[in-house]
Amino acid sequence: MGIKVGLIGAGSISFPHLLGYVKSQYVDEVVLCDQQEESARRRQKEYRSLVKTITTDMESILNDREVAVVDICVPPYLHHEIAIQAFQKGKDVIVEKPVALDVEKADQMIAAAERFHKRLLVAHNQRFMPTNIRIKELLDGGEIGRPFLAQGCILGDELDRMNQENLWKGTWDKAGGGVLADSGIHYIDIFQYFFGPVTSVSSCCKKILVKPKQKAEDNVLLNLEFASGVMAQLLFSYSMTEWVWQETKAIYGTSGSIIVNDNDSQPLKLVKAKKKEQCPDGCIRCLELDEKAVTIPALPEGMNMWLYSVASTIETFIQCLRENQVCPVTPKEARANLQVVEAAYVSARNGVRVSLDTKI
């Protein structure tokens, strides 16, 4: 007999979550809850064989003894309350990123999971992108020597939703911030996965084109230092109205570099010096680069990187729960990502560099 899942929230992120449950051999049924019955009904039509029941009553899911896992796909300000109620009812919990609105609430969620001996799984889907899996393999295999410098950009257009007065997206009280808390946390997670814990943060966060007073920043410049010695500069924007959504990374090491552009036909490249010369003043100059595309698994037909990675996240989480395996994303890692976000906002607000406890 398979697992019965209670999915709370029928918004856009619920689509790839449901796709993950379809792919999983361990899930028999999903009960879908949303305050807007029509939203739940539309999503049910897409997955009728799996979503056999919809409801507007969250309590009916929490009180259903057959529901083993509660999947939380609602805005961040609701994560904490729903997760703790689910733990109290004996459910394991899957929750979208960020884990909570702030670190204090994340700590309470982690403590509740431990108190009730349940699992808390946070859907940081970048861990499951084929490019990032391959990058981790290249780094661990020493393909570029010792990494020392990195760059990353997430550039896209979210101005329409950010400028909607009554929408939760980008609000301080419901989302926990703007582009940094919403999308930037993806790169904070994957760069900590690559390089280890962040030790210090400095940032500039600006609301440039977003109008509503309660909305947060739409552009961020973030500088991170890691315990491993790596330095990284990350750029995030929701204001790129004339720009195709783009995610790029560059990692520079002592014997090569890794270059990533998710929109490229060959998204992952390994770059090394092919020909060098010694200048008259004694310095060494590279004359020619050896650039090779690194093979990554092809995505299934009809799926983009986002859909595939979120669905794979959910499928993997369910397998970990079913087989009592260690999950690739731990609650403490999710907490550490949120701590970096909070530190970045403190840095931007006070104009200072913020040091972090490396023992998180």
| Phi then psi dihedrals of residue 225, to 5 deg | -115, 140
Based on the domain organization, do 286 and 163 belong to the same domain?
yes
320 lies in a domain?
A: no
pLDDT of residue 265: 84
- What CATH number should be reported for the domain holding residue 75? 3.40.50.720
Range with top average pLDDT, 274-283, 287-296, 330-339 = 330-339
pLDDT at position 275 is: 59
328-351 per-position pLDDT tens digit: 999 999 999 999 999 999 999 999
Q: What is the mean pLDDT of residues 84-89?
A: 98
Does the pLDDT of residue 25 top 80, yes or no?
A: yes
Closest C-alpha among 189, 194, 233, 221 to residue 98: 189
The arithmetic mean of pLDDT across residues 290-294, rounded, is: 88
Same domain, 112 and 169: no
In whole angstroms, give the CA distance from residue 235 to residue 218.
11
Lowest mean pLDDT among 76-85, 103-112, 174-183, 268-277: 268-277
pLDDT over threshold 80, residue 183: yes
CATH number at residue 251: 3.30.360.10
pLDDT of residue 87: 98
With a CB cutoff of 8 Å and minimum separation 6, the contacts of 59 are none
Q: Which pLDDT score is estimated for 359?
A: 40
Global pTM value? 0.94
Residue 48 binned pLDDT confidence (cut-offs 50, 70, 90)? confident
* Contact predicate 90/118, CB 8 Å: yes
Per-residue pLDDT band at 302 (split at 50, 70, 90): confident
> Closest by alpha carbon to 176, among 108, 86, 79?
79
Nearest to 100 by CA among 118, 124, 75: 75
Q: In 3D, which of 76, 86, 29, 80 has the Cα closest to residue 54?
A: 29
Q: Is residue 300 reached through a cis peptide bond, with omega within 30 degrees of 0 on the bond before it? A: no
Secondary structure class of 57 (helix, strand, coil): coil
Contact 271, 289 (CB under 8 A): yes
In a domain, 316, yes or no: no
Q: Are 75 and 135 members of one domain? A: no
Beta bridge partners of 147: 253
| In a domain? residue 152 | yes
- pLDDT at residue 290 above 90? no
Domain presence at residue 351: yes
Whether 360 has a pLDDT exceeding 80, the answer reads: no
Under 8 Å between Cβ of 93 and 158: no
What are the percentages of helix, strand and coil residues in the chain, rounded to 5? 35, 30, 35
- pLDDT of res. 166: 94
- For the residues 247-253, what does the mean pLDDT come to? 97
Structural domain boundaries, residue 216? 127-302+337-355
The SS3 assignment for 19 reads helix
- The answer to whether residues 136 and 237 belong to one domain is yes
- 238 shares a domain with 104: no
Q: What is the mean pLDDT of the chain?
A: 94
- Please state, for a pLDDT cut of 90, what percent of the chain lies above it: 88
Q: Among all chains, which residue has been given the structure tokens 């299934």?
A: 300
Q: Taking the chain, what is the end-to-end CA distance rounded to the nearest angstrom?
A: 38
Instruction: Report the distance separating Cα 305 and Cα 134, nearest Å.
Output: 14
Kindly state whether residues 348 and 206 are assigned to the same domain: yes
pLDDT at 350: 97
H or E, element range at 333: helix 331-350
User: Span 188-201, mean pLDDT?
Assistant: 98
**In the structure encoding, which two tokens stand for residue 176, read together?**
């926990």
* Domain assignment of residue 313, yes or no: no
Closest CA to 50 of 28, 17, 73: 28
Residue located via tokens 């003894």 = 65
**Cβ partners under 8 Å of residue 327, min gap 6:** 119, 121, 316, 317, 320
Residue 284 has what pLDDT? Answer: 62
Looking at residue 243, its pLDDT comes to 86
Question: What would the pLDDT profile of 112-136 be if each residue is shown by its tens digit?
Answer: 999 999 999 999 999 999 999 999 9
- Give the separation between CA 108 and CA 290, rounded to whole angstroms: 50
Whether 238 and 146 share a structural domain: yes
Both tokens of 165, joined, read 């007065």
Q: Is the pLDDT of residue 74 over 80?
A: yes
309 lies in some domain? no
The amino acid at 337 = N
Beta bridge partners of 55: 33
In this structure, the answer to whether residues 132 and 35 fall within a common structural domain is: no
Q: Is the Cα torsion angle 141, 146, 148, 149 positive or negative in sign? A: negative
State the amino acid at position 29 in one-letter form. E
